[in-house]
Amino acid sequence: MIAPPKPDLVTVNIDGKEIAVPKGTNVIEAARLVGVDVPHYCYHPKLTVVGNCRMCLVEMGTPAFDPATKTPVMDPATGLQKINWIPRPQIGCGTNATPGLHIRTNTPLVKDCREGVMEFLLINHPLDCPICDQAGECKLQEQSTGYGRGYSRYIEQKNVKPKRTQLGPRVTLDDERCILCSRCIRFSKEVAKDDVLGFIDRGSHSTLTCYPGKQLANNYSLNTVDICPVGALTSTDFRFKMRVWFLKQTDGIDPESSAGANTVVWSREGVIYRITPRRNDEVNDTWMADSGRILYKEIAAPDRLTAVKVNGADSGLDIAVNAAVAIFKANAGGIAVVGSGRSTVEEQFLTRQLASALNASTQVVTRVGEGDSLLVTADRNPNLRGALVTGLVSHLPKPGSAQPGNVVLGGLESLGTAIDAGQVRVVVTVGEDLAAAGLNATQLAKVAIVALGTQANATTAAAKVVLPTLTVFEKSGTFVNQQFRIQKFAKAVPGVAGATDDLVVLAKLVAAAGAKAPAPDLGSIWAALAAAVPALATMTYANLPATGLLLDGRPWAAEPFVEGESLHFKPATT
């Protein structure tokens, strides 16, 4: 028996296929659900509907009712209710599902409409695909192949418009390629709340431009490049660097804040070329901040750590681990572990095991900046909640207060006091810069430091043992974002020479400290995690869905989280 549709569902018929969709779903989305592609340019699921590209024209009909009696009019030929087809084609994006709505996308009229729009879009388009960055991911290419006539009747001069306008520090515009869909304008106005884009001039001479004296400079400007269906808006950083079809796509998570925007990391032969957002309707919709797109540059940054060091001299991993253990043994009872909200859940779990093997205290570093109410939150740790879930710490330290334009690190006040008092003589830091987090030079000098990390800083310079590890782009793992949503990311590129996976380093330290360490692969660690952490009991890395799983954050509701409201997050009201 088929259960009756829920009250808010309406049944629509698309090319003869019936489907129940939530009331108000538009025809493009409904058709997608039955596997029917309705081509479109201006429509974007996260922006308002303007219906100006006219590519999504479909035939629409509604069930016939007798005007007098309001009873359905039946069609004797089929025995079904008669459908009144509207003679004019209708836009799919602006047509919402109503009970019994009928849609045809495969008729001669629809075909003619699409061919007409495709031809019109291309007559003033430069057709410079061989030198266009959008080639390979261009809707004009795809849809002219799929729905165009394949030839042009246009012999007149094409429009001439500006070819390389700098709309802002990160976005370059080629106006001749623009098909005037207005997605970028709507994004800037509706999502980024920075209404700087607009059209000037009229008709086919309409030109996208910035408001005089302003720039498209907000931290979300590159989303306009992502949603531009053609090669008009290009990323100044990525422009002319690489053909997109050569690039490998890896799912990532933006590590710049606790929003945990889902990303795709585009790489070729171990080199990352760009990062773009990945749709997750519960987290970041289809957006991400510009600041998160350049983080891959830390992989090859000049300050990248690539050599294991013991007392400042180059060494080997096992020698360094042994050196660290020697330090631990000499100072038993005086060890502290500084974990990180930037480590993955798996790393935090091993950090906790290391701390318990060393009988060490644990703390995490807070990282507080200004939230932008969208996808860069006040908590700039991608995984602070992971530290709670894994039990690395049971409570969060009091966070520092945000200062305009600055990210403030903190949370090590009690550690500093313990160092001053001589209770702590060794500090193991997992990727955190103790100096930046508030320890002063005297305190750093008083302790022996074992530092894991990716970039050189005051802490690694002062450390007895330096163990280079990997950036998020070079390893796989999971983060727990501000919603307590556990999300996974995968290794996009191999680690640089000289750096070792954090898990391997931590497992070696745990084993050297005398405890039983899990094998440093995700499968084994997740088996141990699931056994040790009830909240993760049913999960494995492999079976986590691409859009993540929501954990129960209520046990930590009283913790001093700093985030305000963001795109899909509201702080718990106290």
Interface residues with another protein (CB under 8 A) are 49-55, 57, 87-89, 91, 94, 112-113, 115-117, 119-121, 123-124, 153-154, 156-157, 159, 179-180, 198-199, 201-206
Closer by beta carbon to another protein, 163 or else 205 = 205
Closer by beta carbon to another protein, 95 or else 219 = 95
Euclidean distance between the first and final Cα of the chain, in Å?
A: 46
Q: Which amino acid is at 124?
A: N
Closer by beta carbon to another protein, 28 or else 463 = 28
**Tokens matching residue 187:** 């994004």
DSSP 8-state code for residue 44: -
Supply the minimum distance, in Å, between the C-beta of residue 112 and another protein. 7
Q: Tell how strand 408-410 and strand 485-489 pair up.
A: unpaired
144-266-38 Cα angle (round to 5): 30
In this structure, the number of other CB atoms found within 10 A of the CB of residue 383 comes to 31
Closer by beta carbon to another protein, 154 or else 240 = 154
Supply the minimum distance, in Å, between the C-beta of residue 214 and another protein. 17
Supply the minimum distance, in Å, between the C-beta of residue 91 and another protein. 7
Closer by beta carbon to another protein, 4 or else 87 = 87
Supply the minimum distance, in Å, between the C-beta of residue 156 and another protein. 4
Closer by beta carbon to another protein, 92 or else 339 = 92
Maximum Cα interatomic distance, the chain, rounded to a whole number of Å: 96
Per-residue DSSP letters for 94-144?
Answer: TPBP-TT-EEESSSHHHHHHHHHHHHHHHHTS---GGG-TTTTS-HHHHHH
373: left (phi over 0), alpha (psi -120 to 50) or beta: left
> In which residue are the tokens 């990945």 written?
278
Supply the minimum distance, in Å, between the C-beta of residue 340 and another protein. 49
Supply the minimum distance, in Å, between the C-beta of residue 98 and another protein. 11
Closer by beta carbon to another protein, 22 or else 198 = 198
In this structure, the number of other CB atoms found within 10 A of the CB of residue 187 comes to 24
Task: Answer positive or negative: Cα dihedral of 541, 544, 545, 550.
Answer: negative
Supply the minimum distance, in Å, between the C-beta of residue 487 and another protein. 36
> Measured between alpha carbons, how far is 171 from 164 in angstroms, rounded to an integer?
10
> Measured between alpha carbons, how far is 246 from 68 in angstroms, rounded to an integer?
63
Closer by beta carbon to another protein, 180 or else 289 = 180
Residue 483 half-sphere exposure toward CB, CA atoms < 13 A: 20
